[in-house]
Structure 1
Amino acid sequence: MTTYSRSFRSSPHRDARETWEAVVDLLTQGKSGAARTELLAVGGTAASVIADQAPKDAAIVVTCDGPRTRVYCLYDDNAIDGSDAKEDTLGYDPLKGDWSVSLPCQAEDLDWVNAALIKQSNRVTARDSKQAVGTEGGKSAVSAPLVINPKGFLGS
């Protein structure tokens, strides 16, 4: 599975709501439509997660029928400096086909965040920021070993 990463400047460069809107612009490629409407509908809850700095070390993870996208936020001096920011567009549609967004969240906020999200979207959920996407109980949900196809890799 291919994964791409982006890092957005948040507080104090932009507030949490503006940060979420910038992430939505990236994910929707600036296009209007149902996906954009759904992502903007959860903006208040997503902004709360961003304001709590959960996406600093744990990514907002977007899955779709294509590559996986990880979005991190930069805060404080890193947000002001901006040298670690990577907010450029993606070369693919990160919401292609059956997409979902997993927001990292502090464990003590997880219940209310998920309750708020479900009222607006069935594609956007929250997870404990200490738990990786695709894991349960700390074990990876992927059971198959990684197999490299040398012919495909070498272009033969």
Structure 2
Amino acid sequence: MSTVSRRTFVSTPARDSTKTWHAVVDLLAPGATHPARKELLDVVGIAASIISDRSPKDHAIVATCDGPRTRVYCLFDDDAVDGSDANEAALGYDALKGDWAVSLPCDPDELDWVQRALKKHSSRITARELNASVAADQDEPAAVTAQVSLVPDLKGLLES
């Protein structure tokens, strides 16, 4: 099972949705020379639209890579102004190392146009319905099951 880190960013009204996406990009692809940075910035309008719809309030923006997974949520309204639940701290790893992908949560009514628009800019940045799991998440229950099945049958061992 993969390691997961969670970050929570303040958004509107404390920070507009475009600035929120820029802050998320700074977390996922820090530094001007990070190889994924341009690709993330190319979709700023689309990502800002998703943030404006408040989709990342309860449904994470998910970054997967060859290392740990990163889940990003946003705070809105009084929670954003207060900011006490925010955690925008830098990660101790490269969130987009190797074979990376970013999945944006999207309202079902907006999903078609968002997917088409993202496809014009990137094959690594995709959108999913709000309650849909990220493809890699679907593999995790199998890993848990495999771990459970490795528990030895002590009763059978003692009867031998």
Q: Please, what TM-score do these two structures have when normalized by structure 2?
A: 0.86
Distance 1:140 1:38 in 2: 26
State the alpha-carbon separation in 1 of the partners of residues 103 and 146 from structure 2: 24
Distance in 1 (CA, whole Å) between partners of 2:108 and 2:124 is: 20
Alignment correspondent of 2:95: 94
- Could you say which residue in structure 1 is the equivalent of 2:155? none
Deviations 1:77-130 (A, max 9, x none): 000000000000000000100000000000110000000000011100000011
Q: Distance in 1 between matches of 2:90 and 2:138?
A: 30
Q: Which amino acid aligns with 1:8?
A: F
Identity of aligned residues (%): 57
Partner of 1:153: none
Give, in whole Å, the separation in 2 of the partners of 1:51 and 1:45.
10
Runs of 4+ in 1 over 4 A off after TM superposition: none
Aligned to 1:147: 147
* SS of residue paired to 2:110: helix
Q: CA deviation at 1:34?
A: 3.4
Amino acid at match of 1:15: D
- Number of aligned residue pairs: give it: 146
Q: Which has the larger radius of gyration?
A: 2
Q: Which runs of 5+ in 1 are unaligned?
A: 150-156
The answer to whether 1:129 aligns with 2:130 is yes
Deviation of 1:146 after TM superposition, in Å, equals 5.5
Change beyond 3 A, Cα 1:58–1:11: same
Q: Secondary structure of the equivalent of 1:34?
A: coil
* Equivalence for 1:39: 40
